[in-house]
Amino acid sequence: MSLIAVENLAVARGGRTLLRGLDLAVQAGEVLHLRGGNGAGKTSLLEVLCGLRVPLEGAFRQRPEPQALHWLGHKNALNLALTPLENLGFWCGLNSVAEDALLPVLQRLGIERLRHRPCRTLSAGQKRRCALARLLLAPRPLWLLDEPLDGLDAQGLGLFAQLLAEHLGRGGAAIVTSHQPLPPGVPGVREWQLA
Protein backbone atom coordinates (compact mmCIF):
# COMPACT_ATOMS: atom_id res chain seq x y z
CA MET A 1 0.00 0.00 0.00
CA SER A 2 1.39 3.40 -0.86
CA LEU A 3 1.75 5.98 1.89
CA ILE A 4 1.66 8.88 -0.53
CA ALA A 5 0.79 9.00 -4.20
CA VAL A 6 0.37 11.87 -6.65
CA GLU A 7 -0.43 11.96 -10.35
CA ASN A 8 0.25 14.44 -13.10
CA LEU A 9 1.71 16.89 -10.61
CA ALA A 10 3.06 20.28 -11.71
CA VAL A 11 5.08 22.37 -9.31
CA ALA A 12 5.80 26.07 -9.67
CA ARG A 13 7.83 28.49 -7.62
CA GLY A 14 7.78 32.26 -8.02
CA GLY A 15 5.71 32.01 -11.21
CA ARG A 16 8.09 29.53 -12.91
CA THR A 17 7.01 25.97 -13.57
CA LEU A 18 9.73 23.63 -12.34
CA LEU A 19 8.16 20.19 -12.70
CA ARG A 20 5.35 18.92 -14.89
CA GLY A 21 3.53 15.62 -15.36
CA LEU A 22 5.03 13.95 -12.31
CA ASP A 23 3.59 10.61 -11.17
CA LEU A 24 4.98 9.40 -7.92
CA ALA A 25 4.08 6.82 -5.28
CA VAL A 26 5.99 5.62 -2.23
CA GLN A 27 5.30 2.25 -0.62
CA ALA A 28 5.91 1.22 2.98
CA GLY A 29 9.52 0.16 3.53
CA GLU A 30 10.84 2.28 0.68
CA VAL A 31 13.11 5.33 0.50
CA LEU A 32 12.77 7.65 -2.46
CA HIS A 33 16.00 9.57 -2.97
CA LEU A 34 15.26 12.70 -5.04
CA ARG A 35 18.24 13.93 -7.01
CA GLY A 36 18.69 16.89 -9.31
CA GLY A 37 20.79 19.99 -9.78
CA ASN A 38 20.32 23.26 -7.92
CA GLY A 39 16.96 24.75 -8.83
CA ALA A 40 15.56 21.48 -10.20
CA GLY A 41 12.60 21.77 -7.84
CA LYS A 42 13.45 19.20 -5.16
CA THR A 43 12.55 21.43 -2.22
CA SER A 44 9.43 22.80 -3.93
CA LEU A 45 8.25 19.26 -4.65
CA LEU A 46 8.73 18.25 -1.01
CA GLU A 47 6.83 21.36 0.10
CA VAL A 48 3.93 20.37 -2.14
CA LEU A 49 3.99 16.80 -0.82
CA CYS A 50 3.89 17.93 2.82
CA GLY A 51 1.09 20.42 2.12
CA LEU A 52 2.93 23.72 2.58
CA ARG A 53 2.68 24.63 -1.10
CA VAL A 54 -0.27 24.28 -3.45
CA PRO A 55 0.52 22.32 -6.64
CA LEU A 56 0.03 24.12 -9.95
CA GLU A 57 -1.95 21.13 -11.25
CA GLY A 58 -2.36 17.45 -10.50
CA ALA A 59 -3.85 15.71 -7.52
CA PHE A 60 -3.09 13.42 -4.61
CA ARG A 61 -4.28 9.85 -5.06
CA GLN A 62 -3.19 9.10 -1.52
CA ARG A 63 -2.66 12.02 0.85
CA PRO A 64 -1.15 11.45 4.30
CA GLU A 65 -2.83 12.98 7.36
CA PRO A 66 -0.84 15.70 9.16
CA GLN A 67 -0.28 13.33 12.09
CA ALA A 68 1.14 10.72 9.70
CA LEU A 69 4.08 12.69 8.33
CA HIS A 70 7.25 14.37 9.52
CA TRP A 71 8.63 17.37 7.68
CA LEU A 72 12.25 18.35 8.09
CA GLY A 73 13.00 21.39 5.95
CA HIS A 74 16.46 22.69 5.20
CA LYS A 75 15.78 25.14 8.03
CA ASN A 76 16.03 23.47 11.43
CA ALA A 77 13.06 25.22 13.10
CA LEU A 78 15.17 25.91 16.18
CA ASN A 79 14.99 29.28 17.93
CA LEU A 80 18.61 30.26 18.62
CA ALA A 81 17.82 31.86 22.00
CA LEU A 82 16.25 28.65 23.35
CA THR A 83 17.97 25.40 24.32
CA PRO A 84 17.43 22.13 22.42
CA LEU A 85 15.27 20.90 25.30
CA GLU A 86 13.04 24.01 25.14
CA ASN A 87 12.83 23.94 21.34
CA LEU A 88 11.87 20.26 21.22
CA GLY A 89 9.57 20.63 24.22
CA PHE A 90 7.74 23.38 22.33
CA TRP A 91 7.41 21.06 19.32
CA CYS A 92 5.94 18.36 21.58
CA GLY A 93 3.38 20.83 22.95
CA LEU A 94 2.50 22.06 19.47
CA ASN A 95 1.87 18.49 18.31
CA SER A 96 0.31 17.22 21.57
CA VAL A 97 3.10 14.66 21.99
CA ALA A 98 4.22 13.51 25.47
CA GLU A 99 7.54 15.01 26.53
CA ASP A 100 8.83 11.92 28.40
CA ALA A 101 10.60 10.66 25.30
CA LEU A 102 12.76 13.79 25.06
CA LEU A 103 15.76 12.65 27.09
CA PRO A 104 16.15 9.15 25.57
CA VAL A 105 15.83 10.65 22.09
CA LEU A 106 18.51 13.25 22.80
CA GLN A 107 20.74 10.45 24.12
CA ARG A 108 20.12 8.42 20.99
CA LEU A 109 21.28 11.35 18.84
CA GLY A 110 24.29 12.00 21.06
CA ILE A 111 23.29 15.55 22.02
CA GLU A 112 22.06 15.02 25.60
CA ARG A 113 25.05 16.97 26.99
CA LEU A 114 24.05 20.02 24.92
CA ARG A 115 20.44 20.08 26.03
CA HIS A 116 20.76 23.12 28.32
CA ARG A 117 22.88 25.21 25.95
CA PRO A 118 21.28 27.93 23.81
CA CYS A 119 21.07 26.74 20.21
CA ARG A 120 23.12 29.71 19.00
CA THR A 121 26.19 28.11 20.62
CA LEU A 122 25.73 24.82 18.73
CA SER A 123 27.50 23.85 15.51
CA ALA A 124 25.60 23.30 12.25
CA GLY A 125 25.81 19.52 12.66
CA GLN A 126 24.63 19.64 16.28
CA LYS A 127 21.64 21.75 15.25
CA ARG A 128 20.85 19.27 12.48
CA ARG A 129 20.87 16.46 15.04
CA CYS A 130 18.40 18.45 17.19
CA ALA A 131 16.11 18.80 14.19
CA LEU A 132 16.42 15.07 13.42
CA ALA A 133 15.37 14.33 17.02
CA ARG A 134 11.79 15.30 16.08
CA LEU A 135 11.57 12.21 13.86
CA LEU A 136 11.91 10.01 16.94
CA LEU A 137 9.70 12.05 19.30
CA ALA A 138 6.53 10.93 17.54
CA PRO A 139 6.28 7.76 15.45
CA ARG A 140 4.92 8.79 12.05
CA PRO A 141 4.99 6.54 8.97
CA LEU A 142 6.13 9.04 6.33
CA TRP A 143 9.28 11.16 6.62
CA LEU A 144 9.85 14.03 4.18
CA LEU A 145 13.45 15.16 4.61
CA ASP A 146 15.09 18.03 2.77
CA GLU A 147 18.89 17.66 2.78
CA PRO A 148 18.93 15.84 6.13
CA LEU A 149 22.66 15.06 5.85
CA ASP A 150 23.68 18.76 5.86
CA GLY A 151 26.45 19.31 8.37
CA LEU A 152 26.43 15.79 9.81
CA ASP A 153 29.81 14.17 10.57
CA ALA A 154 30.77 10.57 9.71
CA GLN A 155 29.29 9.26 12.94
CA GLY A 156 26.15 11.31 12.34
CA LEU A 157 25.77 9.83 8.85
CA GLY A 158 26.01 6.31 10.33
CA LEU A 159 23.43 7.21 12.96
CA PHE A 160 21.09 8.64 10.30
CA ALA A 161 21.39 5.41 8.24
CA GLN A 162 20.59 3.39 11.36
CA LEU A 163 17.52 5.51 12.22
CA LEU A 164 16.25 5.35 8.66
CA ALA A 165 16.75 1.58 8.45
CA GLU A 166 14.83 1.08 11.73
CA HIS A 167 12.05 3.34 10.46
CA LEU A 168 11.76 1.29 7.25
CA GLY A 169 11.79 -1.93 9.26
CA ARG A 170 8.71 -0.70 11.14
CA GLY A 171 6.86 -0.23 7.85
CA GLY A 172 7.72 3.42 7.42
CA ALA A 173 8.77 5.22 4.27
CA ALA A 174 10.75 8.33 3.44
CA ILE A 175 11.32 10.81 0.65
CA VAL A 176 14.77 12.34 0.92
CA THR A 177 16.57 15.00 -1.09
CA SER A 178 20.33 14.93 -0.90
CA HIS A 179 23.20 15.93 -3.13
CA GLN A 180 25.43 13.23 -1.67
CA PRO A 181 24.57 9.53 -1.89
CA LEU A 182 22.65 8.22 1.11
CA PRO A 183 24.96 6.52 3.64
CA PRO A 184 25.34 2.73 3.21
CA GLY A 185 23.12 0.48 5.31
CA VAL A 186 19.75 1.85 4.17
CA PRO A 187 17.71 -0.84 2.40
CA GLY A 188 15.15 -0.18 -0.32
CA VAL A 189 16.58 3.04 -1.73
CA ARG A 190 15.11 4.09 -5.05
CA GLU A 191 16.77 6.98 -6.83
CA TRP A 192 14.69 9.48 -8.77
CA GLN A 193 16.36 11.98 -11.02
CA LEU A 194 14.48 15.26 -11.51
CA ALA A 195 15.19 16.76 -14.91
Partner 1 sequence: MAAGVIGAFTAVLRRELRLAARARAEWLMPPLFFVIVVTLFGLGAKPNDPLLADFAPAILWVGALLAALLTLERLFRADYEDGTLEQIFIAPAPAIAAIAAKLSAHWLLTGLPLALLAAPLAAALGFPSAALPALTAGLALGTPVLSLIGGFAAALTVGLPRAGVLLPLLVLPLVTPIVIFGAGAARAAQSGLPADAPLYFLAAVLVLGLTLLPWATTAALRNAFE
Looking at the chain, how many residues does it have? Answer: 195
Report the alpha-carbon distance of residue 38 to residue 85 in Å, rounded.
34
Show contacts with partner 1 in window 104-133 (CB under 8 A): none
Please report whether residue 52 would count as binding partner 1 according to CB under 8 A: yes
Please report whether residue 100 would count as binding partner 1 according to CB under 8 A: no
Show contacts with partner 1 in window 130-159 (CB under 8 A): none
Please report whether residue 31 would count as binding partner 1 according to CB under 8 A: no
Cβ-contact 123, 156 below 8 angstroms: no
CB of 88 to partner 1, least distance (A): 11
Please report whether residue 79 would count as binding partner 1 according to CB under 8 A: yes
* HEC per residue, 75-115: CCCCCCCCCHHHHHHHHHHHCCCCHHHHHHHHHHCCCHHHC
Please report whether residue 59 would count as binding partner 1 according to CB under 8 A: no
Report the alpha-carbon distance of residue 50 to residue 4 in Å, rounded.
10
**Choice between 130 and 186, CB closer to partner 1:** 130
CB of 95 to partner 1, least distance (A): 5
Kindly provide the b/e burial profile for residues 112-136, where b requires at least 16 CB atoms within 10 angstroms of the residue's own CB: bebbeebbeebeebbbbbbbbbbbb
**Choice between 86 and 112, CB closer to partner 1:** 86
Please report whether residue 67 would count as binding partner 1 according to CB under 8 A: yes
Please report whether residue 71 would count as binding partner 1 according to CB under 8 A: yes
| Positions in the binding site for partner 1 (CB under 8 A) | 47, 50-54, 65-67, 69, 71, 73, 75-82, 86, 90-96
